[in-house]
Amino acid sequence: MVGTRLIQILSAGTILSVTMASLDVDAATEMRLEVVITQQSYTSVESIVARVVFKNMGSHTITLNTAFNVFPDCKLTFDIVTPSGRKPVETLRLLVKRGLLSRKDFLNLERGEKFEVEIPLKEWYQLTEKGLYQASAEYRNDNTGETVKSLFGRKINAWVGQIRSESKSFQILNK
**How much is the pLDDT for 27?**
30
pLDDT in tens, 42-59: 999 999 999 999 999 988
**How much is the pLDDT for 2?**
44
**C-alpha 170 chain-centroid distance:** 19
Mean pLDDT by groups of 10 residues along the chain of 175 residues: 42 33 38 94 94 94 87 89 95 64 83 94 93 96 73 72 95 88
> Where would I find the beta strands (DSSP E) of the chain?
4-8, 31-37, 41-42, 49-56, 62-65, 74-81, 106-109, 114-120, 131-141, 161-164, 168-172
Domain range summary for the chain, segments of one domain joined by +: 4-172
Would the pTM count as exceeding 0.85?
Answer: no
Q: What is the dihedral of CA 96, 101, 104, 110, to 10 degrees?
A: 120
pLDDT in tens, 2-30: 444 444 333 333 333 333 332 223 333 48
129 touches 71 (CB < 8 A): no
**How much is the pLDDT for 134?**
98
The structural architecture, per CATH, of the domain 4-172 is Sandwich (2.60)
